[in-house]
Amino acid sequence: MTIEIIGTYAVAICLLIGSGFVAVGVIGLLKFNDSMTRLHAPTKVGTVGIGALLLASMAHSFVLGDSSIHEMLIMVFLFVTAPISANFIAKVNIHLRSCSAPPAPSNDIAWSTLNVSEEDREIAKLDPS
Q: Residue 110: which pLDDT band, with cuts at 50, 70 and 90? A: low
Whether 120 maps to a domain, the answer reads no
**Number of alpha carbons in the 13 Å side-chain half-sphere of residue 93:** 16
**Number of alpha carbons in the 13 Å side-chain half-sphere of residue 112:** 7
Q: What is the mean pLDDT of residues 1-30?
A: 89
Which of 11-15, 34-38, 87-91, 107-111 has the weakest average pLDDT? 107-111
Using the CB atoms, write b or e for 99-121: b if 16+ within 10 Å.
Answer: eeeeeeeeeeeeeeeeeeeeeee
Domain that holds residue 48: 3-102
Q: What Å distances lie between residue 38 and 8, 18, 50, 82, CA to CA?
A: 35, 20, 18, 14
Whether 97 maps to a domain, the answer reads yes
Whether 124 maps to a domain, the answer reads no
Residue 116 DSSP code: -
Whether 95 maps to a domain, the answer reads yes
Q: What is the mean pLDDT of residues 20-36?
A: 84
List, for residues 49-72, the tens digit of each pLDDT value: 888 999 999 988 888 888 778 888
Whether 67 maps to a domain, the answer reads yes
Whether 70 maps to a domain, the answer reads yes
- How far apart are alpha carbons 46 and 40 in whole angstroms? 9
Which is higher by pLDDT, 19 or 125? 19
Contact 83, 46 (CB under 8 A): no
Total domains present in the chain: 1
Whether 125 maps to a domain, the answer reads no
* φ, ψ of residue 64 in degrees (nearest 5): -75, -10
Residue 101 DSSP code: P
Q: Residue 115: which pLDDT band, with cuts at 50, 70 and 90? A: low
